[in-house]
Structure 1
Amino acid sequence: MRIAVTGSSGKLGRATTARLREEGHEVLGLDRGGEAGFGFTRVDLGDYGQVLDSLLGVTARHTGLDALVHLAAIPVNGLVPDATTFHNNMIASFNVHFAALRAGLRRIVFASSITAMGFPFDQAPPALPVTEEHRAARNTYGLGKVLEETMAEQLVTWQPELSMTALRFTNVVGPEEYGGFARASDPGYRRDLLGSYVDARDGALAVSLALARAEPGLAVYNVAAPDTGLDIPSAELAARWFPGVPVAADLGEFESLMSTRKARDELGFTAVHRWRDEYRPA
């Protein structure tokens, strides 16, 4: 396939671009910054004209695309003022998704987030592990993700052949970033993430699997490692973090409290990079 990847210069974007190319796809990176050359075009996603033009065709890059992966965003609150985070991400996502629709693309995978599920979980979720059924925003980044999913729900009704897949990524960890798991015995570690994490390489795998499945309509999947980032049993973490919240009777000993069962069952996704294998004590 000929695939455009927005945010191709980011942590997840780099891993995704590399994987898709390894699989034999023709990939065009779209970002505001990146390595100049074949396979990359600089574009301001806040400018609808630039976005539409880049998806329709770019001289010396492509004359048409088969799919779009939208990963670009201000990645967290705090880097810029809160309203700026929301405005930037919502405008970029609208421009990208609407331009893709106008350009005739019918296969879209985009990055949603654990923040669309209530992160940082100051208010307890309804049940554990938290599934894709639960949707809640507690900051402007999360609000943007909730609205992006809602926008996708509507856009797929405009074009019956349109496939949109929202991947709710948790904290993405690069291969060189496993040092933080030295805190795995600290019961406060990753509490706001439900103990979850995902390796960037596994995030790229989820994107690839979602592109391959791409059934019409909107599908939403949690993307995390199947285990928590702690060496404390998950049932103990659930009782400590969210007393009184119902817990699945078949919860695994160290199973992630951000449920990955739907992605496993429907996409065939199971993260292969686990902190227990990747972490090396100093």
Structure 2
Amino acid sequence: MASTKKRVAVTGAHGKIGTVLVPYLKAEGYEVFSIDETPPSDPDELAMTADLTQFGQALDALSSAGEDTYARPEREAFDVVVHLASLPHPRMKADSEEFRINMMATFNVFEAARRLGIKNVVWAASEVGTGVPYDKTDAPYVPVDEEYPMRGYNIYSLTKVLGEEMARQICLNDPEMRITCLRLSNVMNPEEYDKFDTWQDDPTQRLWNFWTYVDNRDVAQAVGLAIEYDVRGKDQFFITNDETVMRTPTVELLDKHFPDIERKKEFTGNEVVISNDKAKRILGFQPKYRWTDKK
């Protein structure tokens, strides 16, 4: 159980991941402060509405100490910032606007945290920064790991590539900073698992990320582990399930759809192609929820 004294700010707290993560962190004993453009539905939730593309609002939100009539701005108001706020898909807005929103929000959160003396940041990075869609970018080898070359195929993925480089540079310039980049795979809630059956006869629907996914509840676990990962500098971890979205064995899928790609290991069963080995080894991550367990 985490210390009840550790205070965590979660940006994008009312989005898909945040709505699962916030109650998870509270159950683990953290004090959570939600930051989002939309107001909370619970009047008792510790929260602030803020446009994180505006640096002043990001700085103000991340300096929020106390609550109710005792609320005030101050430095080091949080032990950790979990940055989820982002447009989650390409072409949701015009490319220039998507770039502005995602890049400015990420810069503002990183820089505001640094200036406020909050040295621990966990950022929702993405698999897409390593060349998704892999069937369009000549993926060099499998399994995909943290040494994979970075490539921004579209504006959304470009913001993830540049966000990771920005995190690296900030940590180089401030040795006390720690920015943990969680490269989340396609995040799924349990109610979405029924559609997995529709992919079984057409694996090409999921070529783009090597048939990979992660359960939203396992994302919450990964964030909790990353909060306690107390190593300075920038680091990155793929957060994926152990198995693909397909019932067809992974070897058969690769043989048919990626016959020429270099394989650096032998795959067994439905083994995932985007490897979570580093997250397991260093963070202690262990996926608990599989789509095949659905009732």
- What TM bracket, shorter-length normalisation? over 0.9
1:59 is displaced (CA, Å) by 5.8
Q: Among 136, 160, 172, which residue is 2:151 paired with?
A: 136
1:78 is displaced (CA, Å) by 2.2
- Identify the residue that residue 229 of structure 2 maps to in structure 1: 213
Q: Among 163, 170, 179, which residue is 2:194 paired with?
A: 179
The root-mean-square deviation of aligned C-alpha atoms, in Å, is 1.4
How far does the alpha carbon of each residue in 1:214-239 deviate from its partner, in whole angstroms, 9 at most, with x for none? 31011100011011010111112122
Equivalent residue runs for 1:162-241 within 5 Å: 162-186=177-201, 187-241=203-257
- Identify the residue that residue 11 of structure 2 maps to in structure 1: 6
2:238–2:274 contact (8 Å) kept in structure 1: yes
- Identify the residue that residue 17 of structure 1 maps to in structure 2: 22
Where 1:189 maps in the other structure, the secondary structure is: helix
- Identify the residue that residue 281 of structure 2 maps to in structure 1: 265
- Identify the residue that residue 74 of structure 1 maps to in structure 2: 87
| Matched residues, number | 279
2:125–2:164 contact (8 Å) kept in structure 1: yes
1:273 is displaced (CA, Å) by 0.5
1:248 aligns with 2:255: no
1:39 aligns with 2:55: no
1:44–1:51 contact (8 Å) kept in structure 2: yes
Q: What TM-score does the superposition give when structure 1 sets the normalisation length? A: 0.95
- Identify the residue that residue 52 of structure 1 maps to in structure 2: 59
Q: Which amino acid aligns with 1:110?
A: W
- Relative contact order higher in (CA < 8 Å, ≥ 6 apart): 1
2:190–2:291 contact (8 Å) kept in structure 1: no
2:9–2:34 contact (8 Å) kept in structure 1: yes
Equivalent residue runs for 1:87-102 within 5 Å: 87-102=100-115
Where 1:11 maps in the other structure, the secondary structure is: coil
- Identify the residue that residue 293 of structure 2 maps to in structure 1: 277
Q: Quick one: percent identity of the two aligned structures?
A: 36
Q: Which amino acid aligns with 1:222?
A: F
Where 2:125 maps in the other structure, the secondary structure is: strand
1:34 is displaced (CA, Å) by 3.3
Distance 2:264 2:26 in 1: 39
Uncovered stretches (5+) of structure 2, i.e. residues with no partner:
1-5
